[in-house]
Amino acid sequence: MTTLRKIADLEVFPIGLGCMSLSHGYGAPTDPAQAEALLLGALDRGVTLFDTAALYGFGHNEELLGRVLAPHRSRFVLASKCGIFHEGGKRRIDGRPETLRRTCEEALVRLRTDVIDLYYLHRWDKSVPIEDSVGALAELVRAGKVRHIGLSEVSAETLRKAHAVHPVAAVQSEYSLWTRNPEIAVLEACRALGAAFVPYSPLARAFLADGLPDPEALDEGDLRRRMPRFQPGVYARNLGLLAPYRRIAARVGCSPAQLALAWLLHQGGDIIPIPGTTRLDHLADNLGAAEVALEAATLAELGALINDRTVEGARFGAGNAAEVDTESF
């Protein structure tokens, strides 16, 4: 039986579901019937952590989860995020207390719930002291509208400042074999403070799932088309990592996606990755990673093959990189 993992006092299946791709970031939103089948399929397969945000589809994703999952609210942990908006065709970060309070009220309506189990500050608004933004989230906890507070893409220093105002239950940042930034400092800080770590893009935006088409063939609205690692020349060189990676997966007896997720799960019992997908077969494959055991030698082999030194290209372009507070190599 798979051992559950904890976010504060919440117990969850070791692998959650990142819901962004159903509404945002990778082209047109998923067909409503397919999205509903995916969400209910995840619930039926034991997923207990569903992750969304006000940004995803500019409210569409929260509305989708509310419509489909509200009748089953007692069966899962609901996580959402605040602090990034899309207004007038432009992305804007706003961490002012009054904005966060308003966003929470709007999210509760879209999600069709009285309380959000885990509410993240999606990005730290560097024009607002982190203590002020977290103070507003703490007010929402006291008001019973939020159970636990999380932060996304923050440094260890910012996490400590936030935690001094109110306990931080979880930090969500990009983490996978090919994005190792959390290993610099924030993972250690999470463990010192008792915060869980929730990796997004644990499959390297499908690269490690071995199912990514030629990036130049991606939808014009797909965010990967603008990411340095997926630019034609750079991507061609990164592809060289996949052949030996596939050989390791074959030797272990699992899929490439399962190998990537299993590597993360073996980094600590406080790590709960949230891969996203729009397909039930990929969902079932991802969840199977919870049963994959990796020997120490295999973990070391994977870590040496794909890491911050062997992967070419930054994970974000200059604009998005300026928005995050995470330590960089």
Q: Is 56 a catalytic residue?
A: yes
- In contact, 220 and 273? CB cutoff 8 Å: no
Cite the DSSP H helix spans in the chain.
32-44, 60-69, 97-111, 130-142, 156-165, 186-193, 232-238, 242-252, 256-265, 280-287, 296-305, 318-323
Question: What single-letter amino acid sits at 101?
Answer: R
Question: What single-letter amino acid sits at 228?
Answer: P
- In contact, 204 and 176? CB cutoff 8 Å: yes
Q: Is 112 helix (H, G, I), strand (E, B) or coil?
A: coil
- In contact, 19 and 276? CB cutoff 8 Å: yes
Burial of 169: CB neighbours in 10 Å, binned 0-12, 13-18, 19+: buried
**Active-site residue, selected from the candidate residues 26, 56, 235, 245:** 56
d(Cα 304, Cα 322) in Å, to the nearest integer?
Answer: 29
What is the H or E stretch that residue 4 is in? none
Query: For 32, how many CA atoms within 13 A lie in the half-sphere containing its CB?
Result: 5
Choose among 253, 255, 264, 251: nearest CA to 306: 264
Choose among 118, 126, 189, 177: nearest CA to 308: 177
Main-chain phi, psi angles of 79, to 5 degrees: -120, 135
Active-site positions read 56
